[in-house]
């Protein structure tokens, strides 16, 4: 059957009917609309069974489900008759009214020759059940695990297919990865050789947010409430996902993808991406500013923690203009301390700040003879805290800094011959936080360890636009000084 739909609103819906149980379903879309658009298909029981995305995508503009094979954007399940619903969501403020049409081609009981790259190897979701155990242990050892919380493949606007992703992960020796496709949550995936955290990048023209550890069935309820604009779509999504997921703002100051939703309540945010795609031409300055803003948030009473993401879209051999290194999964890496490697432990680790972000180097972090981890609160007011950081593979000269309540209280040159820096701190009744940072010769951040603290100051403002205004005034003074 062929269906034409005119797009006039943020969300448009229509229904189609299948008379009898079927063995395969093929849904294809075509449009000239330039705005990012997501198409969600639901069966008669209200299950989300397939999705197609336009914009930010190199993937096919169809999904296919059968008893033998299923594309990654389809739910592997027994197809039944009934009334199917289609929801079309436009992720942009404006539409070109002259080309606001989507054409649908829906076919049943037809075998399709689907390229292997687009087919599932494993299913995340089967019927209404998760096919993945968030508590499954992939390694029992208690230690820091290395991974990447922001990466793309050809499933959205990245270039790497499953085989290429596997090879890069192997070379980078990653323990976990979050493939965060734009507005896309695959139903199935490829085996990657490391822990694959179900995630996606909630992408609007006013900013991008990563959602880590998701459940596909949440889409069955995501857009049930009336939406008046894309801001209400965003707010609704954040409120629903934050119940089970890690919410992280991406590349907050990187133009032209800086985050611009000023009414966001920052208490809803768990983590901030402080090193993102560092080989991109303007990333160094944007990342440094993100670190300074996170310090400002800590001074303002927030315990939001820093994580990293390569945001890699490129093939291994690609280079940005002027770059000598590739934009590659694992640069930067986020090391998360886990008592055994599982998806839940990784997410709990970054939400508690038991992590650090780094380029090129690995760190040994010894806080009070390994009594504390980054992110932990120091409750004993009479305790003397010793903090020692050793750079394990220091191939260049760096500057190490201990930052206390947003002030550098100790700075030291770090070299291969002198790779260790330490500090002794007496706890007090006054609220404080302390972190370690590593910087290169151009004063760009190379490593960030999440703060330890005794208590937080009172939060007086939560709206992002007000916080950014206050931060900007302070940051300007810092640079003038």
Q: Domain for residue 283, yes or no?
A: yes
User: How many whole angstroms separate alpha carbon 360 and alpha carbon 391?
Assistant: 10
Pull the structure tokens for residue 323: 């770059």
Alpha carbon distance 35, 39 (integer Å): 13
Number of domains the chain is built from: 2
Residue 127 forms part of a structural domain: no
Structure tokens at 372: 């504390």
Contacts of 477 (CB under 8 A, 6+ apart): none
Instruction: Report the CATH number at residue 52.
Output: 2.60.120.380
Q: What are phi and psi of 171, to 5 degrees?
A: -65, -35
Do 74 and 166 share a structural domain?
no
Residues 6+ apart with CB under 8 A from 90: 7, 9, 10, 11, 33, 35, 36, 37, 230
Q: Provide the token pair at 4.
A: 């034409």
Residue 414 binned pLDDT confidence (cut-offs 50, 70, 90):
very high
Residue 207: C-alpha distances to residues 177, 249, 451, 469 (Å): 22, 8, 26, 18
pLDDT band at residue 10 under the 50/70/90 scheme: confident
472, 349: one domain: yes
In this predicted model, what pLDDT tens digit does every residue of 205-223 receive, in sequence order? 899 999 999 876 665 555 5
pLDDT, tens digit, 9 for 90 and up, residues 42-89: 999 888 899 999 887 788 999 999 989 999 999 999 999 999 999 998
For the cut 50, the answer to whether the pLDDT of residue 201 exceeds it is yes
Residue 377 DSSP label: B
Shared-domain flag, residues 116 and 218? no
> Mean pLDDT of all residues in the chain?
91
| pLDDT confidence of residue 227 | 52
pLDDT the model gives residue 374: 98
pLDDT on residue 231: 84
pLDDT of residue 229: 72
33 and 165 co-located in one domain: no
Q: Is residue 134 part of a domain?
A: no
Query: Residue 307 has what pLDDT?
Result: 98
Across 343-404, the runs of DSSP E, i.e. the strands, are 355-358, 363-367, 384-391, 398-404
Judged against a pLDDT cut of 80, whether residue 91 lies above it is answered with no
Determine the 3-state secondary structure of 103 from DSSP: strand
- Of 423, 385, 377, 431, nearest to 406 by C-alpha is 431
Assess whether pLDDT exceeds 50 at residue 198: yes
Going edge to edge, which strands form the sheet with 101-108? 2-6, 101-108, 24-31, 62-66
Residue 57 and residue 186 in one domain? no
Q: Is residue 441 part of a domain?
A: yes
Asked, for residue 131, whether it belongs to a domain, the answer is no
Same domain for 26 and 153?
no
Nearest to 178 by CA among 264, 270, 247: 247
**Residue 393 CA to its chain's centroid (Å):** 27
Q: Lowest-confidence range among 117-131, 215-229, 395-409, 413-427?
A: 215-229
Closest-CA residue to 197 (of 219, 214, 172): 214
Q: Encoding tokens for residue 48?
A: 């989300």
pLDDT above 90 for 199? yes
The residue segments making up the domain with residue 467 are 139-480
CB 25 within 8 A of CB 104: no
**Judgement on whether residues 28 and 154 belong to the same structural domain of the protein:** no
Domain membership of residue 125 (yes or no) is no
What was the pLDDT predicted at 123? Answer: 86
Structure tokens at 469: 């205004």
Asked whether the beta carbons of 205 and 136 are under 8 A apart, the reply is: no
Beta bridge pairs of residue 144: 337
Give CA–CA dist 187/50, Å, rounded. Answer: 8
Q: In this model, does residue 158 exceed pLDDT 50?
A: yes
Is the pTM higher than 0.95? The answer reads no
pLDDT value at residue 100: 84
**Which among 64, 86, 120 is the end of a domain?**
120
Mean pLDDT of the 259-273 span: 96
Q: Which residues contact 451 (CB under 8 A, 6 or more apart)?
A: 298, 353, 374, 375, 433, 434, 435
Residues 45, 149: one domain? no
Residues 280 and 153 in one domain: yes
Query: What mean pLDDT do residues 337-341 have?
Result: 98
H or E element that contains 402: strand 398-404
- Give 247-261 pLDDT, tens digit per residue: 999 999 999 999 999
**Burial degree of 182 (CB within 10 A; 0-12, 13-18, 19+):** buried
CATH number of the domain bearing residue 219: 3.20.20.140
Minimum mean pLDDT among 53-67, 272-286, 392-406, 465-479: which range? Answer: 465-479
- What was the pLDDT predicted at 453? 97
Q: Which of 16, 101, 17, 14 is nearest to 54 (CA)?
A: 101
Same domain, 290 and 147: yes
Percentage of residues in the chain having pLDDT higher than 90: 74
In a domain, 278, yes or no: yes
pLDDT of residue 219: 57
Q: Which two tokens stand for residue 405?
A: 């309540």
Cα 398 from Cα 278, distance rounded (Å): 17
In sequence order, which residues have a C-beta less than 8 Å from that of residue 317 and are 6 or more positions away? 326
Per-residue pLDDT, 481:
38
Q: Is the same domain home to 46 and 189?
A: no
Within 10 A of 98 (CB to CB), how many other CB atoms are there? Answer: 7
Answer with the residue of higher pLDDT: 124 or 127: 124
Is residue 15 situated within a structural domain? yes
Same domain for 352 and 300: yes
Task: Give the pLDDT confidence of 371-387 residue by residue, as tens digits.
Answer: 999 999 998 878 999 99
């Amino acid at each position: 059957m062929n269906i034409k739909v005119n797009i006039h609103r943020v969300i448009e819906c229509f229904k189609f009917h299948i008379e009898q149980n079927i063995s395969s379903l093929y849904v294809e879309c075509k449009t000239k609309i330039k705005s990012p658009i997501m198409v969600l298909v639901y069966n008669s029981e209200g299950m989300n069974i397939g999705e197609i995305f336009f914009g930010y995508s190199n993937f096919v503009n169809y999904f296919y489900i059968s008893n033998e094979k299923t594309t990654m954007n389809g739910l592997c399940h027994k197809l039944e008759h009934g009334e199917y619903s289609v929801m079309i969501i436009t992720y942009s403020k404006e539409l070109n009214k002259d080309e606001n049409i989507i054409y649908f081609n829906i076919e049943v009981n037809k075998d399709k020759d689907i390229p292997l790259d687009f087919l599932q190897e494993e299913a995340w979701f089967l019927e209404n059940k998760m096919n993945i155990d968030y508590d499954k242990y992939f390694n029992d050892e208690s230690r820091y695990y290395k991974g990447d919380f922001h990466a793309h493949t050809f499933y959205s606007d990245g270039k790497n297919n499953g085989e290429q992703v596997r090879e890069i992960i192997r070379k980078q020796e990653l323990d976990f990865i979050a493939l965060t496709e734009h507005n896309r949550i695959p139903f199935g995936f490829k085996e990657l050789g490391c822990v694959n955290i179900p995630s996606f990048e909630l992408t609007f023209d006013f900013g991008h947010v990563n959602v880590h550890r998701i459940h596909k069935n949440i889409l069955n309820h995501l857009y049930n409430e009336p939406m008046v604009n894309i801001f209400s779509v965003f707010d609704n999504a954040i409120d629903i996902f934050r119940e089970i997921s890690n919410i992280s703002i991406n590349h907050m100051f990187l133009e032209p993808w800086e985050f611009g939703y000023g009414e966001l309540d920052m208490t809803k945010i768990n983590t901030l991406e402080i090193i993102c795609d560092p080989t991109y031409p303007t990333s160094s300055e944007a990342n440094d500013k993100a670190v300074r803003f996170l310090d400002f948030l800590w001074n303002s009473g927030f315990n939001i923690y820093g994580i990293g993401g390569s945001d890699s879209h490129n093939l291994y051999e690609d280079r940005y203009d002027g770059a000598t290194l590739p934009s590659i999964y694992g640069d930067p890496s986020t090391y998360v301390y886990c008592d055994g490697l599982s998806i839940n432990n990784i997410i709990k680790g970054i939400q508690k700040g038991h992590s650090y972000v780094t380029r090129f180097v690995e760190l040994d972090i010894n806080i009070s003879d390994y009594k504390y981890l980054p992110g932990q609160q120091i409750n004993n007011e009479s305790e003397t805290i010793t903090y020692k950081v050793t750079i394990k593979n220091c191939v260049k000269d760096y500057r190490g800094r201990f930052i206390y309540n947003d002030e550098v209280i100790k700075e030291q040159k770090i070299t291969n011959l002198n790779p260790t820096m330490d500090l002794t701190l007496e706890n007090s009744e006054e609220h404080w936080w302390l972190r370690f940072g590593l910087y290169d010769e151009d004063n760009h951040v190379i490593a960030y360890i999440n703060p330890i603290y005794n208590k937080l100051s009172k939060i007086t403002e939560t709206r992002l636009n007000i916080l950014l205004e206050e931060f900007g005034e302070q940051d300007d003074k810092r640079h003038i000084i």
